[in-house]
Structure 1
Amino acid sequence: MLYISSHVAIPDHEIEIHAVRSQGAGGQHVNKVSTAIHLRFDIAASSLPPFYKEELLKLRDHRITQGGVITIKAQQSRSQEQNRADALDRLRELIQLVAVPRKKRKATKPTKASKQRRLESKTKRGRLKALRGRIDD
């Protein structure tokens, strides 16, 4: 069971975990042992509450495919168990990210002083550009 919050948990059978060979340097150990973890989690087929599913599918994250499957590859550690824990932590963090409600932006108007500063800078810039022009005798 992967616990997201006190009320939300994901059963183990919904998370697909495969051990694969790691990439990069590491010598003979990397070439022989499958220590990297490839995690797949299908959002639509999961038992997550509808709010979580909708928010996850709205996310613009490279780890979420167009089919709504989260794919995470963990290969930082030399240990398969640590990579498994890392992949599960990253999945938990991604799901917890959508649980935090976003604050709506309040539209504000520019202050009178900021309008004045903007206009002054525009006139100053205009004068500077005018000085670059041709000089008539």
Structure 2
Amino acid sequence: MISVAADIALDEKDIRLEFVRSSGPGGQNVNKVATAVQLRFDLGAADYLPADLRERLRRLAGQRLSSEDVILIDARRFRSQEMNRQDALDRLKALVREAARRPKNRLKTKPSAAARRRRLEDKRHRAVKKRMRTRVADQEG
């Protein structure tokens, strides 16, 4: 189990790591060593996670979520395979932590009396400004 937060852990059997050749810096090494990491997290099989957390994860994953309900994280920032592996796991953990934060419910509020007064004052001011414009246009024509 990979610990993400105090009450959240991910099962390692749902995470697959695949190493592929990376583009970018590395010189001749790029053509020989598979340093880039593709992490696949099977969200559909992670039924140990609460349903609301999985739903928020789906929304947050966006285009990283495949039609098979698998989150794909591509890590190729570093030249070493181990650092890219750790980077991919860290990014998955960060995504799950962000999804674990429940959004606050919005409380309905009404505008204050001062805000209503300011809105009406601004509205009157704009109306006067526009009235002045039309009269000038009528006098010229």
TM-score, structure 1 normalization: 0.86
1:136 and 1:30, CA in 2 relative to 1: closer, same or farther beyond 3 A? same
Distance in structure 1 (CA, Å) of the matches to 2:12 and 2:6: 17
In the alignment, which residue of structure 2 is the partner of 1:108? 109
Matched, 1:2 2:2: yes
Structure 1 gaps, min length 5: none
Equivalent positions of 1:31-110 (< 5 A) are: 31-51=31-51, 52-59=53-60, 61-110=62-111
Q: 4+ residue runs of structure 1 moved beyond 3 angstroms?
A: none
Q: What RMSD in Å do the two structures reach over aligned CA positions?
A: 2.0
Name the aligned partner's letter for residue 65 of structure 1.
S
Q: Give 1:118 shift.
A: 0.9
SS in structure 1 of the partner of residue 118 of structure 2: helix
Q: Deviations over 1:5-46 (max 9, x none)?
A: 334322322111001111234432222221110011110112
The answer as to whether partners of 1:36 and 1:74 remain within 8 angstroms in 2 is: yes
Residue 136 in 1 paired to residue 139 in 2? yes
* Residues 1:16 and 2:16 are matched in the alignment: yes
Q: Match for 1:73: what amino acid?
A: D
TM-superposed CA distance for 1:58, in Å, is 4.1
- Residue identity opposite 2:49 in structure 1: P
Helix, strand or coil for the counterpart of 2:34?
coil
Identity %: 42
- Of 97-106 and 7-16, the range deviating more from structure 2: 7-16
Aligned-partner residue type, residue 105 of structure 2: K
Q: Distance in 1 between matches of 2:122 and 2:67?
A: 47
Q: Rate the CA distance shift 1:122–1:60 in 2: closer, same or farther, 3 A.
A: farther
AA aligned to 1:136 is Q
Contact 2:25/2:79, CA 8 A, preserved across alignment: no
Q: Is the 8 A contact 1:15 1:41 kept in 2?
A: yes
Q: How far did residue 104 of structure 1 move?
A: 0.4
* Distance (whole Å) between structure 1 residues aligned to residue 77 and residue 61 of structure 2: 24
Shift of 1:47: 4.6
- CA apart distance, 1:60: 5.8
Give the residue type in structure 1 aligned to 2:38: H
Q: How many residues align?
A: 137
